[in-house]
C-alpha cells in the first residue's frame, strides 16, 4: 500500500521507517537531475514547487497539478512537461 494522501502532501511518516522508499526516490531524482545539464534550472523550479522543509526540518512533498507547475515556470508548456517526464521514467 502507498503513502497516505492528505491535503498538505506527504511527509517522512508516510514511508516505512527503514527509509528505503524515501532514499530510492531521492537517489532516482538525483540520478536524473545529473543528466539534465541545461535543463537543471527547470528541474530546480519544479522541486521547489513540490517539496518544502517544515519548521522541524522535515521534508514535505506537496501535491501539485502538473499543469499548474508548468504554468508557473518561465518556459513553454511542452518544454516543461518534457523535463518533468524525465523524472517519471524508470
The size of the chain, in residues, is: 90
* Residues spanned by the domain of 41: 10-88
Of the candidates 80, 59, 84, the one whose C-alpha atom is nearest the C-alpha of residue 70 is: 80
Q: Per residue of the chain (90 residues), what is the pLDDT tens digit? A: 444 445 555 555 655 555 545 566 778 888 888 999 899 998 888 888 888 888 888 878 787 787 788 788 888 888 888 888 888 876
CA 33 to chain CA mean position, Å: 11
Give the whole-angstrom CA distance, residue 76 versus residue 71.
8
User: Which pLDDT does position 40 carry in this prediction?
Assistant: 92
Q: Do the domain assignments include residue 4?
A: no
User: Which pLDDT does position 1 carry in this prediction?
Assistant: 44
Q: Do the domain assignments include residue 2?
A: no
Q: Do the domain assignments include residue 5?
A: no
* Total tally of structural domains belonging to the chain: 1
User: Which pLDDT does position 89 carry in this prediction?
Assistant: 76
Q: Do the domain assignments include residue 3?
A: no
The one-character DSSP state at 19 is -
Amino acid at each position: 500500500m502507498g503513502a497516505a494522501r492528505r491535503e498538505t502532501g506527504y511527509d517522512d511518516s508516510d514511508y516505512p521507517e527503514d527509509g528505503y522508499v524515501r532514499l530510492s526516490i531521492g537517489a532516482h531524482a538525483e540520478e536524473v537531475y545529473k543528466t539534465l545539464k541545461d535543463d537543471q534550472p527547470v528541474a530546480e523550479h519544479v522541486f521547489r514547487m513540490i517539496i518544502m522543509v517544515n519548521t522541524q526540518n522535515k521534508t514535505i512533498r506537496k501535491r501539485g497539478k502538473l499543469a499548474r507547475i508548468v504554468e508557473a515556470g518561465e518556459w513553454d508548456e511542452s518544454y516543461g512537461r518534457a523535463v518533468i517526464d524525465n523524472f517519471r521514467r524508470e
